[in-house]
Amino acid sequence: MTAKVITVFNQKGGCAKTMTSMQLSGTLGLWGLKVYVVDMDPQNTAALWALQAQQDSEFPATVHSYAPLKAAFLNKVETLMDKFDVIIIDCPPAIESPVPWTSLLIADLALIPVVPVMDNVWASKVAEDLVIKAREERAANGVGGELKAAYLLSMVRKGKVFDVCLDALKQGIHLPILSARIGMRNAFPESQLFGCVVSAFGKSTASGEVESAAREILKLLDIKLPKKQGTK
């Protein structure tokens, strides 16, 4: 097995990178894939999240912090490649960090969570430029294969201001936006509190949103689920 690598990044702080990493990893884990989350944020939010899980219900993906290694975390990722189906790198928000750039050089998918508000719209250009530069670097060196990229709309709320911001985002970007959207819902921080994913509370709008995003990502990366596991 050679893992598909998804880097979840956006230099903008608080745009749901860790939420995306954890919901996606846990959901794919529950669907039978072996998933590893590389927590590269010195805040250790992903690692702490998984530690919140109760003993009888472990978080359904392996989560480990490699933040102290900085760019050298890539050596660790290489040792995981043949042991997992999917590796998700949860990047820090710091614009000066080498981690997003380094992880884009090996990723199969750059997943960029973005909240439809203007500060996120402005910051999206920086994220997008990094993806384009990484593609150029990979092509110049003839390594790394194709780097796919997509935005994931997160913490979406209803209202005219969000519609206007979403229009502004769509006008300024060149990367696709996933059709699935993650709404602003209490179930998300609740799942952090209990160290689980939203589907652990039963079927809900939140779990449906996460599963739709997960299905789209599986399709984008041509990842098949193990037999007898299903997403309906």
Ligand X SMILES: Nc1ncnc2c1ncn2[C@@H]1O[C@H](COP(=O)(O)OP(=O)(O)OP(=O)(O)O)[C@@H](O)[C@H]1O
Is 199 a binding residue for ligand X by CB under 6 A? The answer is no
Residues numbered 13-32 forming contacts with Mg ion, rule: CB under 5 A: 17-18
Judged by beta carbon distances under 5 to 8 A according to partner kind, the member of Mg ion, ligand X, none in contact with residue 62 is none
Report, in Å, the least distance between residue 150 CB and ligand X. 16
Is 191 a binding residue for Mg ion by CB under 5 A? The answer is no
Is 114 a binding residue for ligand X by CB under 6 A? The answer is no
DSSP string across 38-79: EE--TT-HHHHHHHTS-TTS--SSEEEE-GGGGGGHHHHHHH
CB atoms within 10 A of CB 205: 11
Q: In sequence order, what E strands does 162-226 have?
A: 177-183
Binding letters toward ligand X, positions 137-156, x by CB under 6 A:
-----------------xx-
Q: In whole angstroms, how far apart are CA 117 and each of 22, 70, 108, 142?
A: 23, 30, 27, 37
Nearer to Mg ion, 17 or 148 (CB): 17
Contacting range for Mg ion; rule: CB under 5 A; set: 22-30, 39-47, 58-66, 117-125 = 39-47
Is 148 a binding residue for Mg ion by CB under 5 A? The answer is no
What's the CA gap between 217 and 178, in Å, rounded?
Answer: 8
Answer whether 76's CB lies under 8 Å from 102's CB.
no
Is 17 a binding residue for ligand X by CB under 6 A? The answer is yes
Binding site for ligand X (CB under 6 A): 13-19, 41, 43, 45, 93, 154-155, 182, 184-185, 188-189, 192
